[in-house]
Structure 1
Amino acid sequence: MQTKDKILLAFKDLSQEKGFYDATVDELALRSRVSKRTIYRYFNSKEEIIEEVMFKFIKETEQAIDGVLNSSEQAPDKIAKIIRILSERLKGLNPRVLRDLQRHYPIIWEKVEQFRAGKLKRMVTIVIEEGKEGSSNSINPTVATASLLATVRAVVNPTFMIDNNLTPEEAIQNVMHIFLYGLTGAKREF
């Protein structure tokens, strides 16, 4: 494993325990078994390390989701796979990490928000358009996207998750279940 990757992996593990804000470069040096000088050879600041960890997380998540969205599977199967991908990617993610991004690293948090908005819009649009084939489904993709995005921002939100003792995995699973099946799970015509 390359030294830079070793540092990033060690920081990712350390941040799961302490959050991004409370993790120190001294602790990172111990955890990664490299000197602080070596860390600063690869990164100019702790914020740059955080940005790289989050960029890698976003990129890997994006590739997995795009693979599903570009597949020839039916819309319901795509949704199920995307929910599994998101659940797996968010499993074990400490909500403090997200809270730290939101509070202390707003520029990085905004990139996370842009990613979420872009992926949700693409997912909803593709699923609705594919679902219309042979159906009388008249859901407006703009309304569906705005509704889902607002719900995700409210629930898969660091403060909400911490206040309600939810993991990111639990939060996204509940949001998607309610969004797809409603509160009762029964299909109704309006």
Structure 2
Amino acid sequence: MQTRDKIILGFRKLAEEKGFYSATVDELAARHNMSKRTIYRYFKSKEEIIEAVMDSFMKEAEREVFATLNRIENPIEKLTLFIQIVAQKLRTLTPVLIGDLPKHYPQIWEKVEQFRTEKLNYLTGIMIEGSKQGYLKEINHTVVTASLLATVRAVVNPTFIMENNLTPEETFKTVMNTFLYGIVAKDQST
């Protein structure tokens, strides 16, 4: 593993314990027997390390999602796998790890928000495809996408998750399953 990657991974593990704000470069250097000078050879600031941690996470998640989804034709399977893969990736993000982003590192959080928006817009294409093939209802996809995005921003965010003692994985799965399957029990009839 390259030194830069060791720094990113090491800082991520440290932040999982303490949060991004409380984790320090001094602790990172001490834990990994490297000098701060070595760390700063690869990164100009702690903030740059945090950004690299989140960039690494987002790239890895994107790779995993699209490697799987590009092999599948059925839109229902695509939606289901999208939820499963993203939920699995979110399992690695503890509330402590991401809790500081909106408050202390808003520019990095904005980058995360842009990433989420792009990936949720990908679902619109799957929904349109599913409607054309008869798998999904004919609905206004613009409204559904906007509603889903607003819900994700309001609910699948560090503040909401921490205030309600949830995990990112559990929160995302609940939101997505509610959007896809509603809240009515399957055996209910009208």
Normalised TM-score (structure 1) = 0.92
In structure 2, the CA distance between the partners of 1:10 and 1:180, relative to structure 1 (3 Å rule), is: same
Shift of 1:187: 9.5
Structure 1 gaps, min length 5? none
Shift of 1:2: 1.2
Alignment partner, residue 137 of structure 1: 137
Q: Deviations over 1:99-155 (max 9, x none)?
A: 211111111111100010111011232233233214682211111111111111111
Please tell me whether the aligned partners of residues 14 and 31 of structure 1 are also in contact (alpha carbons under 8 angstroms): no
> SS in structure 2 opposite 1:179?
helix
Partner amino acid, structure 1, of 2:70? N
Q: Find the aligned partners of 1:185 and 1:102 in 2 and give their Cα distance.
A: 36
Shift of 1:64: 1.8
Alignment partner, residue 30 of structure 2: 30
Q: Deviations over 1:144-183 (max 9, x none)?
A: 1111111111111111111110000110011111111111
Partner amino acid, structure 1, of 2:119? K
In structure 2, the CA distance between the partners of 1:54 and 1:136, relative to structure 1 (3 Å rule), is: closer
Aligned runs of 1:19-98 on 2, under 5 Å? 19-98=19-98
Alignment partner, residue 157 of structure 1: 157
In structure 2, the CA distance between the partners of 1:131 and 1:71, relative to structure 1 (3 Å rule), is: farther
In structure 2, the CA distance between the partners of 1:82 and 1:93, relative to structure 1 (3 Å rule), is: same
Partner amino acid, structure 2, of 1:52? A
Partner amino acid, structure 2, of 1:111? K
> SS in structure 2 opposite 1:64?
helix
Shift of 1:97: 2.6
Normalised TM-score (structure 2) = 0.92
Q: Find the aligned partners of 1:68 and 1:144 in 2 and give their Cα distance.
A: 24
Alignment partner, residue 101 of structure 1: 101
Q: Find the aligned partners of 1:134 and 1:86 in 2 and give their Cα distance.
A: 25
Deviates more, 1:179-188 or 1:54-63: 179-188
**Percent identical:** 57
Q: Find the aligned partners of 1:41 and 1:173 in 2 and give their Cα distance.
A: 40
Aligned runs of 1:174-189 on 2, under 5 Å? 174-186=174-186
Partner amino acid, structure 1, of 2:158? P
Deviates more, 1:76-85 or 1:63-72: 63-72
> SS in structure 2 opposite 1:21?
coil
